[in-house]
Structures are given as structure tokens and as C-alpha cells.
A and B are shown apart, each in its own frame.
Chain A
Amino acid sequence: MTETDLDELLDAWRAPAPPPSLRAGLRTSFPADRRRRLWGVPLRWIVACAASAGALAVGTSLVTDPMMTRFASRMEDGNWVITTRMIDPPIARLKYWMRVSEGMTGNGAVSWFDHSAGTCVGYRLTRTPLSGGEYSVGVEQLTLDEIRRMHPTISTAGRLLPLPASPAPRIVKLGESFDIDLIAVPHGERIYDRVVFSSQAPDSVNQHEPPEIRAQTLRLANPVLYIDGQLQPGPAGAVRSESHGPTVWFHLPNQGRYLIALDPQKNPRFSQAGNVNGATLEFALEGNQYRLESPEPIATGGERPVYVFHDEGFQINSRSGLAETVLFGSAGPAYLYAK
């Protein structure tokens, strides 16, 4: 075969034209107010964080709160395992804010899924009660499949990262805390979980947010959903469910996802559909009445309008086994800016 023959054969493999959705997708993803963003986060959110932290946007003290999120699950003996996810340096919290999903199950598994990097990591905390308020605690790394099941909204296949270190089994007293490293970037961020066994239920993560952020935040703590007066079956398990953010959502089997916001940032996909007042959020859409109730306030500031976007095309990841389940969750500001 001559060089020319080979060239002609290779030419048989033709690349298709780019689909029109490539350019269209780029247009819709182009942020309208780039100058006011940092790491893709609208600047006013950052300023609010900074102001509340007393840092006033000076260098790396822009954000000083290292807490990313908090999980809690109740054990058989009535005590709580409270896991607070931390980041060092705290400024990196903004970098990860919109690109990470976190999950916890009732059997003590916690996970981290970085959408942007396509990486994930997770572990299960085994705990055996001993006498005198002590627990024997071990850490088992989760498999990729286990983590995927914990993140039903993510379609990325994901690449499993090992835990930076294999924590040895230990004896822990009630009230004593210990750390488990999740991510350790050389010369970069350290993301770790601070775990404490407690007889007290945890306070809300939301209470740690700056007032400016909290004012625009919706929070669903152990919510229940009624549609046209009928209570919908929620996810089972002993996890204390709390979702909070500028957008919260619920998923209904075969109907997609309903995203709810207090301030939709002029996003035309959201329309004013109802109100939130304390621990009750109600809206009407497409001929149905939806009512969310929570034991704790969903929003601050009395009665306020809510805006809703029904994302009918949204699908729960089939690997999760949760596609037929009513699910609740929250999302960062990115959803408000995506047109």
C-alpha cells in the first residue's frame, strides 16, 4: 500500500458537522454579566459572604468560613452523627460551591461529587456503641457504584478518587470530634469532614450563612409535599434531610423537576406561581396546587412570592434506583442564570 493509498483510505472517515446545539448551547451559557462574577459566581453573593465574614473583600480573607455543608443522621441509640464538611483555605469554598454535589445516606455513607472535574470520593462510617458513651468507629471507602447511587441527578460517569489516607479504627467518646480527609490537593485545598457523635440534634447549616445570603435562600428541612391536597410519599430513611440554596427543587416520577426560587434573576424560565410564608410554600402550576411543609422555616422575611420552573426534561440518573421516588434537593445560583 502506498502513502497515497493510505491517505485515501483514511479520508473515508469523515467527521460529521457540529450540531446546531453546539453554538446555541454556547450562547445560552454565555453569562450576561461576566464582569460581576468570580469563579462563575455572581459577585453580589461573594460580597455578601465577604461582608458577613467581616473581611470586606481584602485579598484571601474574602471568605473566612471554612464550613461547606453539614450532614446528620440519627443512630439506633438516639444519638446523632454530625458530619461538618470543611475546606482549607476557606476562600476555596467559592471555587467548589457550584460544582460539587454532596450526599449522605442513613447507613453513614457520605460522598462528594465534583461535576466539573468528573471525580468523586466517599466513605462509610461504621460505628459500634460501646459502654460509657463510647463508640468504635471505622472508615470504609465507597465504591463508584455506591457513590453514583447517592447522586441521582448526576449523569457524569465519574472517576473514583481514593481517600488521601486510610483512617485507622478508633474509639470515640460522645462529644469528641475527629477529622477524615476527603480531598488533599498538593499545595492546594484540603477538604475534610469533622465528625462528632452527639446527644444533641445539630443546628441548621443555614444559620451559619450570612444574613444577606440567608435572605435569598430557601431551605427544605425534612419537607413533605402535597399535590392537590394529597400527601406524596417521600424518601425513606433516617437521614435528617436539609436542602438549602437560592434554588430548591423536588422531583416527581415521570414529571421531571420543579425548581423554586425567591429571586429568579430575570430568568424567563421561572414564573411567579405562589408564595412562601414561614414553614409553608404553596404554588399553582399547570392546573395543580403544590404545597410544601417543613417543621422549620423555609424562608425568612414573612410572606414572599416564589418563582417556579418546571423542568420536564429532567431525569434522575437511572443508576441511582430513585427515578420512581419523590426527591428533594437544592441547587446553586447557576440554575438561575442558565437560560
Chain B
Amino acid sequence: MTDVSYRTIAVVVAALALLPLVLSGNVMVNFLAMAMIVTLAAQGWNILGGFGGQFSFGHAAFFGFGAYTMAILQVRFGVNAWFAIPLAIAAGALVGLFIGVLSFRANLRGSYFALVTLAFAEVFRILVNAWSFAGGAAGILVPINKGAINGQFADQRVFYWFALGCVAIVLFLTAYLLRTRFGAHLIAVRENEDAAMALGANTLKVKLGAIALSGGVTALAGALYTMKFLYLDAKIAFGAWISVEALLGAIVGGLGTVLGPVVGTLALLGLGEVTKHAVTRYTGGTIAGIDLAVFGALLILCVAFAPRGVLGVVDRVRAKYVGSRA
């Protein structure tokens, strides 16, 4: 399943890096930056859900832990933003291990696993909402202190390039993992967990590794969110929106493919913007929730007609007209 070469990844990243130079304007750069944050979350989801076959409905738990670790370390402990990022990733990985140890040891699979992750995200949301140290229901505000040394860039394009750099690292890491024994075992777990176990793969260890990695990557997305917006509350950080967008980005792009989350998230958020724009154009106002309703429809359409996402469709078209690459 080494479905993509390092060179292809490099080309995609380079193309994305050039985008803000071609498409100017704050709106565009902000859109791209947000897309990179969601892409990271989707990549995190994809490691566990796409390659490992464990569908989580509660990735907000990891996103929230990353975002809040980043904010609390800066606000309450005066830690520099750049030092806070690795700690946020570690926090996400630990939460992943925690949830993983509890649920995988209890042998939860399928809808049970989806439910328990959802419940964990909700518990964290309620707890953080009531925790005054983390700002409680009013949320937490990172004081503005512009300067690259504080991770607050005057030029939003620099933030975008930094976020893209994080995405690139995770892409290469994922592509590398698929070439290792761990990656092969993870895919074996997805295809048939009992068979993988029978053939000597330590499935529990593989799943724990995947959820820790997934949690860390998604926490990085949360940390970048704090870096960009400098404000958080429990509803944003632990809200269902990020669980849904992470899952959708991976599924729309192509479940269990390295580049799927990038393609899927850009397509998804792009479609959301276009929908909102079209609504404003034709009705003269805004309709709350219309973009999300489109996302829901897209999810069903993808499952029904394009189970391997946008990349799967691209492959099919290419196989038809150009001949298969394999």
C-alpha cells in the first residue's frame, strides 16, 4: 500500500506553497491557513480511521487537548509558543493512549468505538467548560504579542507556510510509516483484525501506536488553531464540528490514502465557501448551517458512489482514459 511516492508529496506541497503568491488577498490566505489546520486534523483521523479502520467520532478530544494545552501553557505558565507546540502534541498523544488503552483493551470495535470516542469528547467539553483555570465558559484569550518569536506573525502568509510545513512533515511521516512493518500491521488490522492477530501481529500494540500518533497529529492541528485565532472556548475546541470535518476531509479525499486528507479538506472547505457565496448571491442574505448541510450530503454521496473518495475517482478516470498505472 505504498500508494504515493515521496516525490509526488513534494510536488503537492510545493504547489500549495506557491498558492498565496498566485492568489492574493487576506480572505484567500485565511481560507488556506484554516484549510491546513483542518487538513492536519483529517490526517490525524486518517491514520487511525483510514489505515487502521477504527472510526472515531470524537477527534475533537485530541484537537481540544492540543488547543487548550497551547493556550494554557502560554497564558498561565508564560511558556513560549514554540515550546508549547511539542508539549501540545505530547498531550494529544497521551490522551490518545489513554482512550486507546481503555477502549481497545475492552475490545471495542465499530460503532462501539465510535460511540466511546464521542462520549470522551463530550466529557472533556463539559469539564473544560466548567474549569475556571482554563477560562471556563467564557473561554481563554492568548494576549496579543506580535512577533515571530511568540508564534504570532504579522503576515498571515507566514503562518500558512508554517502550517503547510507541519502538513508536509506529517505527509512524509505517513508515507514513511506505510513502508514500515508498523504500517503493514496497521492495514492488516483494518482488513481483518482476527487474521492479523493469528498471523502474529500484536494488534493491540499496533492500534495503540496508531491512536497515539493520530492524537498527536490532531493535537498539533488544535495547537495551530490557538496560534492563529488566539482565542478558544470549550465549544470551539471540543465541538463536534472538528470531529466531523476531520472525518469528512479524510473520507471525501480518499480513505486510507496519504494525500486524501489534503485533497478532501481543500475540496470540502472550498465547496463550503462556494455554497455560502452562492447563497449570499441568490438570496441576498446568509443561511446559517447551509455549508454543513452540504457536507452531510457529500458524506452520504461519497459513501454511496465514491467509497475511495476524490482520489479514487481520479484513479478510475485515469485508468479508463490513460491506462492503469499499476
The answer to whether A and B belong to the same complex is no
